[in-house]
Amino acid sequence: MAVKPLDDRILVKQSEAEEKTAGGIVLPDAAKEKPQQGKVIAVGPGKLLDSGKRGQMGVKKGDMVYYGRYAGAEIKIDGKEYVILRESDVLAVIEK
Protein backbone atom coordinates (compact mmCIF):
# COMPACT_ATOMS: atom_id res chain seq x y z
CA MET A 1 0.00 0.00 0.00
CA ALA A 2 1.37 3.42 -0.94
CA VAL A 3 0.85 6.33 1.46
CA LYS A 4 1.44 9.93 0.36
CA PRO A 5 1.43 12.45 3.24
CA LEU A 6 -0.38 15.75 2.69
CA ASP A 7 0.97 19.30 3.18
CA ASP A 8 3.85 19.46 5.70
CA ARG A 9 3.39 15.92 7.03
CA ILE A 10 5.89 13.07 6.92
CA LEU A 11 5.59 9.28 7.28
CA VAL A 12 8.17 7.82 9.69
CA LYS A 13 8.94 4.14 10.34
CA GLN A 14 9.58 3.83 14.07
CA SER A 15 12.86 2.32 15.22
CA GLU A 16 12.69 -0.86 17.27
CA ALA A 17 12.35 -0.49 21.06
CA GLU A 18 15.40 -1.33 23.15
CA GLU A 19 15.55 -4.98 24.23
CA LYS A 20 18.07 -4.45 27.04
CA THR A 21 19.06 -1.69 29.44
CA ALA A 22 22.60 -0.28 29.53
CA GLY A 23 23.29 -2.65 32.45
CA GLY A 24 22.26 -5.70 30.40
CA ILE A 25 18.82 -6.32 31.93
CA VAL A 26 16.35 -7.75 29.40
CA LEU A 27 13.15 -5.69 29.27
CA PRO A 28 9.71 -7.33 29.00
CA ASP A 29 7.34 -5.98 26.33
CA ALA A 30 5.31 -4.02 28.90
CA ALA A 31 8.39 -2.11 30.14
CA LYS A 32 9.70 -1.06 26.72
CA GLU A 33 9.42 2.65 25.95
CA LYS A 34 7.98 3.89 22.68
CA PRO A 35 10.89 4.86 20.41
CA GLN A 36 11.29 8.56 19.61
CA GLN A 37 13.31 8.13 16.45
CA GLY A 38 12.77 6.65 13.04
CA LYS A 39 13.44 6.77 9.32
CA VAL A 40 11.48 9.09 7.02
CA ILE A 41 9.64 6.93 4.47
CA ALA A 42 7.59 9.58 2.64
CA VAL A 43 7.38 13.38 2.63
CA GLY A 44 4.45 15.64 1.71
CA PRO A 45 4.76 18.49 -0.80
CA GLY A 46 5.16 21.20 1.89
CA LYS A 47 2.92 23.64 3.72
CA LEU A 48 0.69 25.84 1.57
CA LEU A 49 1.70 29.45 2.26
CA ASP A 50 -0.55 32.54 2.15
CA SER A 51 1.05 33.47 -1.18
CA GLY A 52 -0.27 30.23 -2.71
CA LYS A 53 3.19 28.68 -3.00
CA ARG A 54 4.42 25.59 -1.17
CA GLY A 55 7.03 25.91 1.59
CA GLN A 56 10.17 23.83 1.24
CA MET A 57 10.45 20.77 3.50
CA GLY A 58 13.48 20.58 5.82
CA VAL A 59 13.53 16.76 5.88
CA LYS A 60 13.73 14.32 2.99
CA LYS A 61 13.04 10.66 2.37
CA GLY A 62 15.69 8.48 4.03
CA ASP A 63 16.56 10.91 6.87
CA MET A 64 16.76 9.56 10.44
CA VAL A 65 14.90 11.90 12.80
CA TYR A 66 14.05 12.41 16.47
CA TYR A 67 10.49 13.49 17.28
CA GLY A 68 8.46 14.32 20.39
CA ARG A 69 7.24 11.49 22.63
CA TYR A 70 3.52 12.13 22.04
CA ALA A 71 3.78 13.66 18.57
CA GLY A 72 1.88 12.48 15.53
CA ALA A 73 -0.58 9.69 14.85
CA GLU A 74 0.48 6.05 15.03
CA ILE A 75 -0.77 3.83 12.20
CA LYS A 76 -0.18 0.26 11.01
CA ILE A 77 0.39 -0.53 7.35
CA ASP A 78 0.82 -4.18 6.35
CA GLY A 79 1.57 -5.08 9.99
CA LYS A 80 4.36 -2.49 10.40
CA GLU A 81 4.13 0.50 12.74
CA TYR A 82 4.49 4.02 11.36
CA VAL A 83 3.93 7.55 12.65
CA ILE A 84 2.52 10.45 10.62
CA LEU A 85 3.99 13.72 11.90
CA ARG A 86 3.95 17.37 10.97
CA GLU A 87 7.38 18.67 10.04
CA SER A 88 7.24 20.95 13.10
CA ASP A 89 7.05 17.83 15.36
CA VAL A 90 10.53 16.78 14.23
CA LEU A 91 13.07 17.80 16.86
CA ALA A 92 16.28 16.93 14.99
CA VAL A 93 17.73 15.15 11.96
CA ILE A 94 20.38 12.57 12.86
CA GLU A 95 23.55 13.10 10.82
CA LYS A 96 25.97 10.25 10.31
Q: Rounded to an integer, what distance in angstroms lies between the CA atom of residue 48 and that of residue 32?
A: 38
Q: Rounded to an integer, what distance in angstroms lies between the CA atom of residue 88 and that of residue 29?
A: 30
- What integer pLDDT is reported at residue 22 of this predicted model? 64
Read off the pTM: 0.78
Q: Rounded to an integer, what distance in angstroms lies between the CA atom of residue 8 and that of residue 48?
A: 8
The structural domains of the chain, ordered by start, are 9-94 (2.30.33.40)
- What integer pLDDT is reported at residue 92 of this predicted model? 92
Task: Give the tens place of pLDDT for each residue, 25-71.
Answer: 666 666 556 668 899 999 999 888 899 898 888 899 999 999 988 88
